[in-house]
Amino acid sequence: MNKRILILSEAFGAGHTKAAEAIKEGIRIYQPTWQVEMIELGTWLRPTLSHWISEIYLKTIKYSPKLWGVLYKKVQNRTVKPHFELLLHFIYAKVMQLVREKQPDLIIATHPFPSAVISRLKRMGIKIPLHVVITDYGAHGTWINEGVDYYYLSSFEMKEYFIRLGVPNERIFVTGLPTHPMFWKREEQSFIREKLGLANKPTILFMGGGLGIGLDRGILDTLSDYRDKFQFLIVTGKNTKLYHQLQLHPLSHHPNIRIYPFVENVDELMDASDFIVTKPGGMTTAEAIAKSIPMILFNPIPGHEQENLDFIQQRKLGIAIMMYMN
């Protein structure tokens, strides 16, 4: 019997949607007859408001990361309360219309906001199972709602945390973070380098996640002394301003320096590289783990990224540095 699966994400940071897309592609491989649709809920229902919330989030983590860390810690051990669900219900006022239109057999949420909204609808009478997939290695109480049927967590430490906050053991599965099928295997390095037109020499991949956060136009000045010894691949993601700034730098035309905007073949760039320098976002680190590429992690955002960094370091999968940009 064919199933209709609705995956709900949010546009606040790129990781939640990357996780949703990974789940969608994984389902298509194992259940090709199922109908799977992924929607960024706020973008679909309230695009203007969603844009401004996203902008406020990005400005906060860029200019006031300590403030974000304080807010994160303040509510970390609190589960979602009914009054907050009610607030979200007003923001996502047409969510019931979406559910009726799509008529899913299962809803999967990769962000706390859709999870809270659907949980409230379940208490109001809808009978659709709700599964929640956590997208970081650190635990936070805002993921927990009474209406969630099952949680998919990144670690056994997170499972213990969820149990302490009242989630029954039988509703928890430790699965790790979802990754797109393109990250499930590693291609031979010299073959990929030739395919991408790269030199067969030590290669370092720089990333700032899908949004290019953390990288700066000063990065090429920092790498200048090493441009003849290593090959550098710099992915600016959706940060088009940074991409154009780097393209104007004299070193952008050096044969050992490649500058990319948002790309769909990060898996191949990882295969071509000897290690990756990146911020410790949940999805980027999960993809690097899947590809078995060592990580150098820099400038974590206080809160979820710091917890991701702690997870990586505890398991000796990467090291941390402070990177100072201009």
Fold of 184-321: Rossmann fold (3.40.50)
Whether 184-321 and 4-178 are alike in CATH topology: the answer is: yes
> E strands of 10-118, at which residues?
35-40, 106-109
- Among candidate residues 165, 152, 246, 232, the one with its CA nearest the CA of residue 199: 232
pLDDT of 51 reads 80
The CA distances from residue 127 to 3, 106, 132, 147, in Å, are 15, 10, 16, 10
Fold of 4-178: Rossmann fold (3.40.50)
pLDDT value at 208 more than 90: no
In this predicted structure, which of 72-81, 118-127, 166-175 has the lowest mean pLDDT?
Answer: 72-81
> Where does the pLDDT of residue 129 fall: very low under 50, low under 70, confident under 90, or very high at 90 and above?
very high
pLDDT tens for 79-127 read 877 767 777 777 787 899 999 999 999 999 999 999 999 998 998 889 9
Helix (H) or strand (E) holding 296, with range, is strand 295-298
pLDDT tens for 297-316 read 998 988 989 999 999 999 99
Angle at CA of residue 267, ends 215 and 275, nearest 5°: 55
Spell out the domain ranges in the chain: 4-178, 184-321
pLDDT value at 325 more than 60: no
